[in-house]
Structures are given as C-alpha cells and as structure tokens.
Amino acid sequence: MSEAPHGVDPVAQLRHDLRTPVNQILGYSEMLEEDAEAEGRTECASDLKKIQAASRQLLALINTKITAEALGTAGAAPPPAPAPSKSDRPETPAAPRWAQAPEAAEETAPARFEGTVLAVDDNQSNLDVLQRRLERHGLSVVTAVNGREALEKVAVQSFDLILLDIIMPELDGYQVLLELKKDPGHRHLPVIMISALDELDSVIRCIEAGAEDYLPKPFNPTLLRARISACLEKKSLRDAEQRHLRTIEETKQRLDGELAEAAHYVRSILPEPATAPLPIDWKYQPSTELGGDAFGYHWIDPDHFAVYLLDVCGHGVGASLLSVTAINVIRSGSLPHTDFRDPGAVLSALNVAFPMEKQNNMYFTIWYGVFHAPSRTLRHASGGHPPALLLTPDDTGGQQCHRLRAPGLIIGAMDDIVYQSHSCHLPPGSRLLVLCDGCYEITRPDGRVLEFDEFADFMQQHGAEPDGLERLETWVRDLNGPGPLDDDFSIVRILF
C-alpha cells in the first residue's frame, strides 16, 4: 500500500491502490471489445465482456468490503482479502450507477472531437488507458505524470481541457487545480477531476475550487464522452466569445486612433492665437472626441477682418465633418457670388449651400462678424446663434456689456431665407467675445440651469482680465460638477 497523501484517509488510499490495476484491466478490455466488434470477431467480444463483468464485480467488492469497520481500525494494516466465492457474488452490492460502465458496447464509430487535452496521472498504465480512449475520439493528448509537470506544460502550451487525477505525490490534483484557478491566464481552462476515491468530500472540494466536473474510475465510456463533449463545447464558446471581444477591442482601438487623428485635424484647422495687429485668444474643448463646434478669423483684405463661430447640432463624426466643411468654405471664400464683407450675404449663401435634407438632417448655427478697421465699425449677422458679447470700457474703469445678435433662423432649415446685417461702433479697448451655447448652458448637479444673464454678468466682471477665459472655464466646470461637459465649449476673445 502506497503512503496516503496529506488529508486522504488511509483506507480510501488502500481502495484506490487496489482498484487501479482492476480499472486498467477494465479499460483495456473495453477498448479491445470495441475493436473486436468493429472487426466482426464476436467470439472475442463475448470473452471480453466476461472479463469486464468480473472486473466490475471485483470493484464492487473493493468498494464495499474494504472499509475501516471491516479492517477493524482505519490505521491498521489490512489482512489479505479472500477471493470471493461464487456464493458470495450474488450478494455483493453493485457499484454506484455513476461508477458503472454500460453493459452495452459503445457504438462502432466513436464520437469525434477536436482539441488538445492534458491528461495527468502518476500511474503510467492509467495514463496509457486514458490516452488511448481520448485518441479514439480524435483528440490530441499530452500527458504528465505529476502535478509539477502538468503546471510546467500548461505554462508553455495551450490546452482545451485538463483531465486531472486527484491523488498524486508531491503536488496533488487539488493543489494543481488551485494553482490553475488563481492564474488569470488559465482561470477559465476547463478541468475535469479524475480519481478512484469514492469520497463525496473530495468531489465537493474540487467543484468548489473551480473544477468543471468530476469523473470516477473506472471510466464510464458514455459518461466520459459526454463530459468531454460538454467541456469542449463550453471552451469553444468561450474562445469564440474571447475572439469576438478581442475583435471589438481591436476595432475600438482602431476607431479611437482614427478619432484621435480626426480630433487632431480639427484642432489643426483652428487659427493660432495672435498678439498683433489684434490680440486674440480662445478656449476650445469638445464634449466628446469630436465636437460640432468650429471657429476661425482672418483678414479678408487690409481693411476688413472676419470672425466667425458655428455650432452643428449634435456631436461626433457627423457633426464634426459638417462643421469642418462649413468652416473651410468660409475660410477659403468658396461661396460663389458672395461678398464676404457682408455678414448677412454670407449667411444667406451658407443657407443655400447646406440644406438640412442634404446634410443627414443636420443643421448649424453661426455668428459671423466683419470689423472695418478704418471706421472701427463691426457688422454682424446671426443664424440661430447665441449673441456675442461686446465689452467696452466705461469711465469708472469697469466694463459695459453689450449683446450683439441679429435675428435669423438656423442654417439649412428653410430655403430663401435672407439674413440681415447689423452694425455697431467699437471704441478703442473694446473686447469682442464670440461663443457657443456650451459656454453657458450648464446644468448644475442640483438640476438648476445656468442662465445667460448670469453668464453675461460673469463675463462683464472677468472678461477683460488677462486670464478671463481661464476663469470662465474653471467657473463653468465647477458649476457642472464632476464629469465632462454636456456640450462643446468654444469662445473667442478679440481686443480691438
């Protein structure tokens, strides 16, 4: 009798040792019977059935007669078991049904599976029986004779299933199972525990530790086939799921890269802040990777300076494409028969060029102004856009705040809209703030929405400060609370 591993009952170990060679006889005879029936050698098959029946009777005797009570004490060395007589055999209880092999032979053509299985057992004869059985089902089989060798092979090779004996020296099957389940890379690898131990506690421990299933020796061929089929199918489904998730992640990474590249392009077309001849700074922060805001400014000619900011409905790729297209049209002056020094004419031409029905039902708002430097006159027009703010110095050293907005519908909503231009004079030291509604349409955590009047009062107090735009952004984010803003944040400030 071999020494029982730690935690294993010596009597159970004895039953294990006695059953091992009988299981091997049973396993080989079952496979030989399959071969004999496939070749039509019925007389051999009949003799092999008798060997199997005798083996099962002997296993039943081992299961029922080798007990601590029968031996007198769990720790005593057992006496040799007498050979059972014929009169004993009918009274011998049968092995549990889950431990019995079917009386009928397996089908001539065993079920075929695909996959690589690691079979682990410290008994080479057991491994040989198991390997042959698995290979008959088309599986590729790798073997290991102890727990450490099994872990080493798992570390360097991919498997679809592990058949793991519980009782082994050094590192038993339960310890190997624990090592596998704590490794994230192998945690989901299905493991079927195999042992001749008939103790329910061993089964429960393995299942609780993460084993997929449990098979007793001797192997019931039908049960073995069913358990392997279920585990391989589950492994196949998980592998397919993991491939799908990897595809999604790779696609997401590719799209993230493309979005980042697109966001970089959007930023690249925004004009640089300037110090002369007009000091200009701005703040721009899309609420998502790609926003629907865009703005620009440039000298049309030596006397006329244009500034414009538009806001496309929605966010994302579609909104960004429309905003970039419209900005490039304005910046390049590519609206035919349009005087870009006339804000009303520019908006009327944009309304014709970008009808909603041809832009996936998307529209945009815009504020467009032109500063005539010799007369210090600002002409402006608006298409559904928030008013710009004009801060002019007063006699007390403070700032007066004026709202510059000309009535006009959103761009693309209706044909034949004629937009009107309004004019105003800009005293020296005036600051023009052109903005989107994301600068003030802020919903506080308590649900209250920031009013435009509150925003205008804040800009009247801080808009002329050198860090006025930084103060605005900080104030807006504090009001918004944690998380991104609900809308794009864009504002341009020009000192005239």
The per-residue b/e assignment along 384-416, b for 16 or more CB within 10 angstroms, e otherwise, is bbbbbbbbbeeeeeebebbebebebbbbbeeee
Q: Are 307 and 371 in contact (CB under 8 A)?
A: yes
Beta-bridge mates of residue 191: 162
Q: Last residue of a domain, which of 222, 239, 256?
A: 239
**Residue 328 confidence (pLDDT):** 95
Element (DSSP H or E) covering residue 193: strand 191-195
Other CB atoms within a 10 A radius of the CB of residue 272 amount to 6
Does 219 share its domain with 299? no
Does 112 share its domain with 180? yes
Other CB atoms within a 10 A radius of the CB of residue 44 amount to 15
Does 295 share its domain with 368? yes
Does 303 share its domain with 422? yes
Does 20 share its domain with 148? yes
Query: Going residue by residue through the chain (496 aa), what tens digit of pLDDT does each one get?
Result: 555 555 556 666 676 667 667 666 766 676 677 666 666 777 776 777 777 777 677 766 776 767 767 666 544 444 444 444 434 434 434 444 434 444 433 444 567 888 999 999 998 888 888 898 899 889 999 999 999 999 999 999 999 999 999 888 889 999 999 999 999 999 999 999 987 656 677 778 899 999 998 888 777 788 888 889 999 998 888 889 989 999 999 998 888 888 788 888 888 889 999 999 999 999 999 887 778 899 999 999 999 999 999 999 988 888 899 999 999 999 999 999 999 999 999 999 999 999 999 999 999 999 999 999 999 999 999 999 999 999 999 988 889 999 999 999 999 999 889 999 999 999 999 999 999 999 999 998 888 999 999 999 999 999 999 999 999 999 999 999 888 888 999 999 999 9
d(CA 344, CA 205): 81
Does 213 share its domain with 353? no
**Residue 125 confidence (pLDDT):** 86
Does 282 share its domain with 141? no
Q: Which residues contact 325 (CB under 8 A, 6 or more apart)?
A: none
What global pTM score does this model have?
Answer: 0.60
Q: How many separate domains does the chain show?
A: 2
Does 311 share its domain with 234? no
Q: What are phi and psi of 78, to 5 degrees?
A: -75, 145
**Residue 12 confidence (pLDDT):** 64
Residue 336 belongs to domain with CATH number: 3.60.40.10
Domain assignment present for 262 = no
SS3 state of residue 494: strand
Structure tokens at 51: 């060997």
d(CA 222, CA 101): 8
d(CA 358, CA 326): 13
Does 230 share its domain with 294? no
* Rg of the chain (C-alpha set): 42
Domain assignment present for 257 = no
In three state form, how does the secondary structure of 107-172 look?
CCCCCCCCCEEEEECCCHHHHHHHHHHHHHCCCEEEEECCHHHHHHHHHHCCCCEEEEECCCCCCC
Q: Are 391 and 433 in contact (CB under 8 A)?
A: yes
**Residue 259 confidence (pLDDT):** 79
Domain assignment present for 315 = yes
Domain assignment present for 23 = yes
**Residue 140 confidence (pLDDT):** 93
Domain assignment present for 111 = yes
Does 19 share its domain with 95? yes
Q: Last residue of a domain, which of 193, 224, 239?
A: 239
Count, residues in the chain: 496
In the chain, how long is the greatest CA-to-CA distance? Answer: 127
**Residue 302 confidence (pLDDT):** 96
Residue 80 belongs to domain with CATH number: 3.40.50.2300
Candidates 273, 360, 367; CA nearest to 321 is 360
Q: Last residue of a domain, which of 239, 258, 291?
A: 239
State the residue range of the domain holding 326: 270-495
**Residue 20 confidence (pLDDT):** 67
Domain assignment present for 1 = no
Does 278 share its domain with 395? yes
**Residue 76 confidence (pLDDT):** 46
Q: Which residues contact 77 (CB under 8 A, 6 or more apart)?
A: 1
Domain assignment present for 246 = no
Domain assignment present for 247 = no
Does 136 share its domain with 211? yes
Structure tokens at 248: 């999604």
